[in-house]
A = this chain, B = another copy of it.
Amino acid sequence: MTSAENTKTAAILVIGDEILSGRTKDKNIGWIAEQLNQMGIDLCEARVIADDKDTIIRHVKTLSDTYDYLFTSGGIGPTHDDITTQSIAEAFNKSVIRHPEAVRRLLKHYEGTDIPFNEARQKMADIPEDADLIDNPVSAAPGFILHNVYVMAGVPSIMQSMFEGLKDQLEGGQKKCRLTVQCAIGEGTIATIMASVSDAFDGLSVGSYPWFKPGQFGTAVVVSSKNRDDVFQAAEMVAKLVREDGYDATILDEGQD
């Protein structure tokens, strides 16, 4: 069992002009966030930045220095605007080499197709020296790990397949237990109850998320903690106090939000 003190911390860096222009909606932050949460790794921060070398270097250095793990997505494709690999190499004063194993994987992937392994596709085998490869079961072109930075593709399906393959290497911690209490009550009415529940348990988080539908409203109260017993007791306490005020409250099953 891992104590809160040695829980690993993480950040996500999404690299891509297309996210900042609004053309593409990011799906990677939410997906990685869920994965890390399930593994008991504490996601502290996520950033979206432009495809600009100095910008990438600056953020990679900051986040790599601050957290145990940094996960990046985007900018490792074959085209001229894919500059993540070169930038991350420079952030750690490394050269980029044409990686023989990456070349082998790409050659095998294109074998028997009419897709030429041209200069642009060969670029996807360029990896910073001393980096380890991240498998890409979808389209072969690997990601890489350099120090504590996990460099993955931006396309969600490819990024997900990369993360699935590397996650066993990450040091997880004790997962937070989380329960949701659905309350047929406005957020402003439940505030006092939430504060008193929060005060009653050490290390318990109590969050409230109001929702609105035509003619209906309510608040999802989410209690979470590494102490599973506390979470169940706190959820009962929320439901009891809400019901005492004359409103409906339902504790959802674990994992049901």
Mask for A37-64, Cβ within 8 A of B = 1, else 0? 1000001111111110000000000000
| Inter-chain contact B222/A78, CB cutoff 8 Å | no
Among the 9-residue stretches A144-152, A202-210, A228-236, the one with 4 or more Cβ atoms under 8 Å from chain B is A202-210
Give the copy number: 2
In the complex, A33→B18 CA distance in Å? Answer: 10
Check A210/B36 contact, CB under 8 A, given A29-B48, A48-B46, A188-B115: no
Mask for A123-155, Cβ within 8 A of B = 1, else 0? 110000000000000000000000000000001
Q: Is A178 close to B, CB under 8 A?
A: yes
Across the two chains, which residue of chain B brings its CB closest to A120?
B191
For the complex of A and B, list the 8 residue pairs with the smallest distance between their C-beta atoms, beginning with the closest. Answer: A120-B191, A22-B34, A22-B33, A121-B188, A25-B30, A46-B48, A78-B188, A80-B195
Mask for A6-22, Cβ within 8 A of B = 1, else 0? 00000000000111111
Q: Is A190 close to B, CB under 8 A?
A: yes
In the complex, A77→B189 CA distance in Å? Answer: 12
Residues of B within 8 A of A33 (CB): 19-22
Could you give 26 example pairs across A and B, Cβ below 8 Å?
A18-B209, A19-B30, A19-B33, A21-B33, A22-B30, A22-B31, A22-B34, A22-B43, A25-B30, A45-B47, A46-B48, A77-B208, A78-B187, A79-B187, A79-B191, A79-B208, A80-B191, A80-B194, A80-B206, A115-B189, A118-B191, A120-B188, A121-B188, A121-B191, A123-B191, A124-B188
| Inter-chain contact B26/A29, CB cutoff 8 Å | yes
Across the two chains, which residue of chain B brings its CB closest to A43?
B20
| Inter-chain contact B115/A194, CB cutoff 8 Å | no
Q: Is A186 close to B, CB under 8 A?
A: yes
A interface residues, tally (CB under 8 Å): 66
| Inter-chain contact A187/B44, CB cutoff 8 Å | no
Q: Is A65 close to B, CB under 8 A?
A: no
Smallest beta-carbon distance A112→chain B, Å = 15
In the complex, A24→B209 CA distance in Å? Answer: 9
Residues of B within 8 A of A206 (CB): 80-81
Residues of B within 8 A of A210 (CB): 77, 155
In the complex, A157→B211 CA distance in Å? Answer: 10
In the complex, A209→B78 CA distance in Å? Answer: 11
| Inter-chain contact A46/B20, CB cutoff 8 Å | yes
Q: Is A2 close to B, CB under 8 A?
A: no
| Inter-chain contact B21/A37, CB cutoff 8 Å | yes
In the complex, A257→B24 CA distance in Å? Answer: 9
